[in-house]
Amino acid sequence: MNEGIVLAGGRSKRMGKPKAFLDFDGTPLLRRIVDRIKCSVSKTYVVISSDESEKDYQEILPDDVLIIHDLFKGQAPLIGIYSGLKAVTSRNAFITSCDTPFVNSKVVDLLFDEIRGFDIAIPKWPNGLLEPLHAVYSVRKTVNATIHALENNRLKNLSILDSLDKINYVPINRLKKFDEELHTFFNINTNKDYSLAKEISLKKYKDL
């Protein structure tokens, strides 16, 4: 059994409005992401800020999605990772953010395969860049690693790698057989990104 976590908290300062509720091809962006990974996970958890109301999220999400509040206040995604992992019941969990409109379920499936024997399966670009918000984590090991990072006020997502012993750096090129242009990693951070994502969707993903 595999489970998925979508981080939906945060102020979206560069967008000027919550990204989770952006309209994308007639569907709220968060709902689109949940729908795109549902065939890869048995249950999905959406993590929101500690001071947000669940009601708005419940209105756009399926009934079987569990909404989790951050366990304590703060704007670091690491808090959301910890809060989500504390809720899941599976051995491994895929973690992504609410601004990835083209997340590819076949890529997610591959990452679940790649975590066997490891604490994390994390995509790695040729220049060394890592994708911590598009990775599969060992729940127990990562909870402990996250606690250690937070206790030491190390709030960057990659801080947890220091406490994980077995890391599988999955080369990005291996994922191209499922997603040739690697749109699965596309993030919407600005209005310009939003416009570009809609253009990409119109050209390539309208019927997917």
Structural domains counted in the chain: 1
Instruction: Give the residue-averaged pLDDT of 145-167.
Output: 93
Residue 10: per-residue pLDDT: 64
Residue % of the chain over a pLDDT of 90: 81
Residues in a beta bridge with 120: 137, 167
| In the predicted structure, residue 208 carries a pLDDT above the cut 50 | no
Q: How many CB atoms lie within 10 A of CB 168?
A: 18
Contacts of 19 by beta carbon, 8 Å cutoff, 6+ apart: 10, 12, 29, 30, 98, 99, 188
Residue 199: per-residue pLDDT: 93
The CATH number given to whatever domain includes residue 153 is: 3.90.550.10
| In the predicted structure, residue 206 carries a pLDDT above the cut 70 | no
Distance CA 130, CA 119 (A): 15
- When pLDDT is cut at 50, 70 and 90, the band that residue 9 belongs to is confident
Q: Is the pTM of this model over 0.85?
A: yes
- When pLDDT is cut at 50, 70 and 90, the band that residue 1 belongs to is confident
Domain extent, residue 127, equals 3-205
Residues 53-99: tens digit of each pLDDT: 899 999 999 999 999 999 988 778 899 999 999 999 999 999 999 99
- When pLDDT is cut at 50, 70 and 90, the band that residue 21 belongs to is very high
| In the predicted structure, residue 41 carries a pLDDT above the cut 90 | yes
| In the predicted structure, residue 13 carries a pLDDT above the cut 70 | no
Contacts of 184 by beta carbon, 8 Å cutoff, 6+ apart: 100, 102, 103, 104, 107, 134, 175
| In the predicted structure, residue 52 carries a pLDDT above the cut 90 | no
Mean residue pLDDT of the chain comes to 92
